[in-house]
Copies of this chain bind each other. A is one copy, B any other.
Amino acid sequence: MPGQGILSDLRIVEASAFVAAPLGGLTLAQMGADVIRIDPLGGGLDFDRWPMSPDDASLFWCGLNKAKRSVALNLADPEGREIAMSLISAPGEGAGLFVTNFPPRGWLDYDKLKARRADLIQLTLQGDHKGGSAVDYTVNARVGIPYVTGPVGYEAPVNHVLPAWDVATGHLVATGLLAAERHRSRTGQGQHVKLALEDVALSVMAHLGFIAEAQLGCARGRYGNDLFGAFGRDFVCSDGRRVIAIGLTLKQWNSLVEATGLAQAIDAIGARRGLDLVKEGDRFLARRELGTVIGDWIAARPFADVAASFDRAGVCWAPYQTIDELVGVDPACSVDNPLFDSVDQSGVGRVLVPRSALRFEAFEARAPGTAPALGEHTEAVLGEILGIDGAGYGRLCDRGVVCSPKRR
């Protein structure tokens, strides 16, 4: 799907499953790169990943593979693997980029591929730095986040629902490929780039101070919905609707005090506790008392009144929404937000589909793209990149190297 876009001269081959590697490819595809995903006939490990549409299409797969081209090959057949290797190592200045989260063996082996194209860039996503396997859920359990998430006093771990480490890693895959391609365009040198999901999680835990905190002997506790180190939490309005209000910066805090008109009560809390509430950390220390007076104020008012007061004073706040509410009533999650198009996705129907969140002013906004049917582009890609003509393709089909019997 080459065309307009800041990366439209790049071609990336992807052999992947699940979130991180496909999200890396998606990120580049939505910026205009020609991303060709290679799958086995019948689909890879993530082809039926839930959620599914009533017509049995994976909303997950469609979401993570839009704007890509799909090549399906019989990878159990040496001829299928040969074609895959030829696609990965095909010539072209903006080509020769490969991303995978499978073990880099067999047809995915960097050295073998490099023998075909010396300046190949391969990014291999691993579970851990030794090449062992790990998934978002196991990494999250290891790094300790589930024990600091959830209600105070709750004993069990709380898993995250958003695969945050996968998402963080997916975006870093895109960064890594662009950096390596930048280097190659200057020096002619390709390379193998490795990235471990576990390392991404560990490095972020360190960047945010969690690891140093524990090393200094005061590992993070479980603070429920309280924002650590400042003021911020959830509240319930008189009509049962919930809001989050934040006083992280002093400006945010002053807005919250102004909106609620509670300056006097809040000053009294500071005086009683001997805390200087101008300091964000002191607001955290006084979070219970502050939460009580602000919570009482909010609990006495319906959502609409709270929202109006908060907006008037410029409070940093938001309603808690269910995903249904997000989709049903939030204008940011609609075509009113230029992020979204309403797109007819085969097997799914008309749904909101986002384009790249990165808006490059020098380029028109691109269509977000739809997910391909499995193997939709096999014939075209084999023709275009490997020069396989219609007759040649027919013979591959007859030998079962291409053309999924399941999905024809």
B-binding residues in A (CB < 8 A): 6-7, 19, 23, 26-27, 31, 45, 48-54, 58-60, 62-64, 128-129, 133-135, 137-139, 141-151, 154, 156-164, 167-168, 171-172, 174-176, 178-183, 185, 189, 191-196, 198-200, 202-216, 218-220, 223-225, 227-230, 232-234, 242-244, 246, 248-249, 279-281, 284, 316-328, 330, 332-333, 337-340, 345, 348-349, 351-362
Q: How far is the CA of A362 from the CA of B179 in the complex (A)?
A: 12
Q: Are A145 and B161 touching (Cβ within 8 A)?
A: yes
SS of A interface (majority): mixed
Query: Which residues of chain B are near A280, meaning CB under 8 Å?
Result: 48-50
Find the B residue at minimum CB distance from A65: B207
6 additional A-B residue pairs with CB within 8 Å, beyond A150-B150, A199-B337: A59-B212, A60-B229, A161-B223, A211-B323, A211-B351, A212-B351
Q: Are B142 and A318 touching (Cβ within 8 A)?
A: yes
Q: Which residue of the partner chain, among B7, B53, B150, B161, contacts A151 with CB atoms under 8 Å?
A: B150
Q: How far is the CA of A244 from the CA of B246 in the complex (A)?
A: 33
Q: Which residue of the partner chain, among B133, B163, B189, B242, contacts A156 with CB atoms under 8 Å?
A: B242
Q: Are B354 and A138 touching (Cβ within 8 A)?
A: no
Shortest beta-carbon distance from A210 to chain B in Å = 6
Query: Which residues of chain B are near A58, meaning CB under 8 Å?
Result: 209
Q: Which residue of the partner chain, among B50, B321, B356, contacts A143 with CB atoms under 8 Å?
A: B321
Query: Which residues of chain B are near A53, meaning CB under 8 Å?
Result: 212, 216
Q: Are A129 and B337 touching (Cβ within 8 A)?
A: yes
Q: Are B171 and A360 touching (Cβ within 8 A)?
A: no
Q: How far is the CA of A290 from the CA of B56 in the complex (A)?
A: 24
